[in-house]
Chain A
Amino acid sequence: MVTRGFFSGRKPPTDTDARIPPGQYLEQGFPVLSAGPTPRVRTDDWSFTLKHGPRPIKKWSWAEFNALPMSKMTRDIHCVTAWTKFDTAWQGVLVDDILADAGIEPPTAFTLALSYDGYTTNVPTKDLTAGKAMVALLYEGKPITADHGGPARLLVPHLYFWKSAKWVNGLQFTERDEPGFWELRGYHIYGDPWREQRYTGDP
């Protein structure tokens, strides 16, 4: 349906158009969204736990986690509120390297990311491995601010950004695909921006 009197003033140039998923627009800033107050987590108190169901597999302190192999990822990110930001530069520990340090292969096909504020989000395990995702510690070379999820946030850039859990403190392997915080509140169980899987009921 064409809207009377609305014209495409913001249509991106064709060379960038291919990088913008359907229904998204290009944002230069970095908006902040979250469901509650921003937790202030000191790195002295920070830890990260890998779990299989309720059972801890391995736990790292901030220093131990920072001693893991560091990788860089520069990716476009897509927020379900319709902004897309190009070329965000992150540095952190690939989920592959976390698993390697724990000495395990992924035990189940599904994972729940856990955060300090009680936030959770579910991601199929195969979307976290093979270099697809990391626990990011730096954004554009600097520690991630609390607003943006620091000290550490999950980065799963090929899915809508609510999957990239802020203030992450663990990954839990689950037997089934367990909906997380927003997935229980109307958001899509998988969240592929290129298939525009924003809300429950999207294909």
Chain B
Amino acid sequence: MSEQTLKPEQFAKLKKSEHAGELVVRESISAWKDAWIRLKENKLAMLSLVVLLVITLLAITAQYMTPYDYKTNDLANTNLPPNSEHWFGTDSLGRDMFQRTWMGAGISLQVGLYAALVDLALGVIIGGIMGYYGGRVDEVLNRFCEVMYSIPSMLLVILLIVVMEPSMFTIVLALSITGWINMAWIVRGQVMQLKNQEYVLAARTIGASTSRIMFKHLIPNAMGPIIVTLTMTVPSAIFAEAFLSFLGLGVQSPAASLGTLINDALKAMTVYPWRMLFPAVLISLTMLCFNIFGDGLRDALDPKMKK
């Protein structure tokens, strides 16, 4: 190897504009995009997402796929096993199980969705107020939450449904009465932690209003845990609805949810097992997928959780 000698003229001062060293080369990626990239790598979570989308799609379109509907009785064709006419068979009144199953899936998903939305709205607002203002306000609201939480929620739900007419609205209302508390606590914890971050102080020194700080700084940064809690709320609401329907407190015939279908099928489970099979598989699959997807979402939104 020959040694090189450097001459002074080889050194020239770089102009400011030529300072390439400071330029960031990587494409700009937001935190959401980053989370999406991580989520895509999680095969199981993506599979769950696809399954959930397919279930949703079928719940919407199944009514156009076969010539039957969910409520017409056909007493000549009761309790048929699955065949080319009635894909999932028929029930004790000869109603098409394919239609009824997907309708039930739709109603179950709707219950889960609405319950989650109510939880989101109430939980974020009340949790946000508790976390942001703290002190006396927090103490009063927190005690209130604790009292609500200490009432056995299923008992409360059953009581409410007995008093009011059983319908989807009643079920969602009943589930939301205690459901939002968890979300409120999650948001409260997040806001308490975030409100002392320096970027929130910076927003305050700029003179930003409380609502601006809430919706521009606190909520977006608490979105990860909020979304994860939501994906966990949906399956638990579906489960609760199925449970209530199973007790006969769910949506009323001729409409059906997956829970009522299973309840109906129970009476003749040993003779016509397929009537239970399809709704049961569907409800299990939905809950499983929501749980796996929620898990994957949590890992994707919070890279620190994953090792």
Q: Do A and B come from one complex?
A: no
Q: Which residues of A contact B (CB under 8 A)?
A: none
Measured CB to CB, the residues of B under 8 A from A are: none
